[in-house]
Amino acid sequence: MKEKLTPQYNDAVKQIKTAILQSQAKALASVNQEQLALYYGIGRYISFNTRKGFWGKDAITSISKQLQAEMPGLFCCFI
């Protein structure tokens, strides 16, 4: 059975719930921003080394396989 709360308690619940949801949204936005910065940096690094000819034809595949072996479950399917 649901207990009937006073308007003051209902207001407190509403304010706390709003604060939690806002904080969760900010945290998710921060994580997304950090991931975008990471992927941009990785892409720039790969592009630089590929364009300058530092890496051969199968370098990306080899790097991807080693990363997947060393960090299982972290990467899905980049290649």
Express each pLDDT in 32-62 by its tens digit. Answer: 999 999 999 999 999 999 988 888 888 989 9
- CA torsion sign for 78, 59, 41, 71 is positive
Mean pLDDT of 65-70: 90
Number of domains in the chain: 1
DSSP codes, 14-74: HHHHHHHHHHHHHHHHHHHHHHHHHHHHHHHHHHHHHHTT-S-TTHHHHHHHHHHHHSTTT
Q: What is the domain extent for residue 57? A: 7-70
Asked if residue 1 belongs to a domain, the reply is: no
Asked if residue 47 belongs to a domain, the reply is: yes
Look at the pTM and tell me if it is higher than 0.75.
no
- pLDDT over 90 for what percent of the chain? 65
